[in-house]
Amino acid sequence: MRNLITGGAGFLGSHLVDRLMQAGEEVICLDNYFTGRKANVSNWIGHSNFELIRHDVTEPIKLEVDRIWHLACPASPIHYQFNPIKTAKTSFLGTYNMLGLARRVGARFLLASTSEIYGDPEIHPQPESYRGCVNTIGIRSCYDEGKRIAETLCFDYQRMHDTEIRVMRIFNTYGPRMLPDDGRVVSNFIVQALRGESITVYGDGSQTRSFCYVDDLIEGMIRLMNSNETGPINIGNPGEFTIRQLAELVRDRINPDLKIITKSLPKDDPLQRQPLINLAKQHLHWEPKIALSQGLDITIEYFREQLRHTSAND
Ligand code: NAD
Ligand code: UDP
């Protein structure tokens, strides 16, 4: 199989690169390095099955591939809000260009969509049939609405051109290779605690999220691509935690003396998030295996090593 992974140098993309390369497949990793790093895939550079291309998906590209895994898009609120117009362009034009490529070469196309499709949900937990409650004009809209139009494009390419699509709605995923300054909650809390800083809970910390460890997520992604399901299909860990509980879990693992402080809640921050994964269980025979406590331990060790390395180089 010749695979194109857009956003392949990012957090999830680089784990997918590893899995496909380990399976002996050919991989073209395409990235503009906005939030990705060459270091994430550097162990494959020079391998005959691997190619790395610096390219922005808002521009078309011609390649011969069998499968397109379309992950290119910043995922952390601070990064996707840095240039929201660019985020919207990446979501729309990027998906349009990659679907155009899929159509031209007859490749199967998987979209890394998101639980943000559900916005601030009035239905809990969220099934795929729920259509969402999304603000069209808020600070998260560039990403949420961007992913919604990206899903729409996929289904219109399927209806108009018979493009083989797979749409995956990813819930909050964490693990090694998140950036230390990524801004997402798991990496923020761990990095703060390892640096001996107070842990910053936004709002009163009663909002919930469901955290999936990266290896589980990548397994679900590969199963979806290999299946006959078009989706949309939720892939996430149904274990639901308040953000305060997460702060306490991280603090207690690293330094129980640390303070947990509160900061203002960003606008439109969803109050609750929990995937229903019946479809994934039934059609992909997939469910997550790694509990939050276990995944946190692995991720803490990763960041400990990263921070040690950074301070040794200072
Ligand atoms: P990430 O920011 O680590 O990775 C995104 C990658 O895309 C980066 O390597 C970045 O440089 C690249 N990129 C961004 N804009 C690009 C452009 N215009 N052209 C080419 N490359 C570009 O984020 P991630 O967590 O690995 O997320 C990967 C995908 O999964 C994203 O599409 C994201 O929306 C989706 N997703 C992730 C999560 C999660 O919890 N990690 C949840 C829901 C959805
Ligand atoms: N959050 C927090 N402290 C931080 C970073 C995030 O309390 O340092 C909160 C954030 O307000 C949100 C939750 O954690 O309620 C998850 O945030 P993240 O940015 O990881 O993902 P998303 O909001 O996109 O689900």
Distance 185 CA to ligand 2 centre (A): 5
User: What pLDDT is stored for residue 205 in this prediction?
Assistant: 97
Q: How far apart are CA 84 and CA 98, in angstroms?
A: 20
pLDDT at 185: 97
**Which ligand does the CA of 11 lie closest to?**
1
**Alpha-carbon torsion angle 67, 70, 72, 78, nearest 10:** -150
Distance, in Å, from the CA atom of 19 to the CA atom of 13, rounded to the nearest integer, reads: 10
Strand 26-31 and strand 108-114: the pairing is unpaired
Report helix, strand or coil for 6. Answer: strand
- State how far the alpha carbon of 297 is from the alpha carbons of 11, 157, 252, 290, in Å: 18, 42, 11, 11
Task: Measure 184 CA to ligand 2 centroid, in angstroms.
Answer: 6
Atom in ligand 1 nearest the alpha carbon of residue 14:
26
Cis bond before residue 266 (omega within 30° of 0): no
Alpha-carbon distance of 172 to 202, in angstroms, equals 16
Percent of the chain clearing pLDDT 70 (strictly above): 100
**How confident is residue 310, by pLDDT bands cut at 50, 70 and 90?**
confident
Average pLDDT, the chain: 97
Q: Are strands 2-6 and 67-70 parallel, antiparallel or unpaired?
A: parallel
Distance 36 CA to ligand 1 centre (A): 8
Residue 213 has pLDDT above 80, yes or no: yes
E-state strands within the chain: 2-6, 26-31, 50-54, 67-70, 108-114, 165-170, 173-174, 199-202, 208-210, 212-213, 233-235, 240-242, 260-263
Please state which architecture CATH assigns to domain 2-309: 3-Layer(aba) Sandwich (3.40)
DSSP state of 101: H
For atom 28 of ligand 1, which residue has the closest CA? Answer: 71
What ligand is nearest to the CA atom of residue 29?
Answer: 1
Catalytic residues: 143
Q: What is the pLDDT of residue 254?
A: 97
Instruction: Give mean pLDDT, residues 253-264.
Output: 97
The pLDDT score that the predictor gives to residue 311 is 75
Mean pLDDT, to the nearest integer, of 262-280?
A: 96
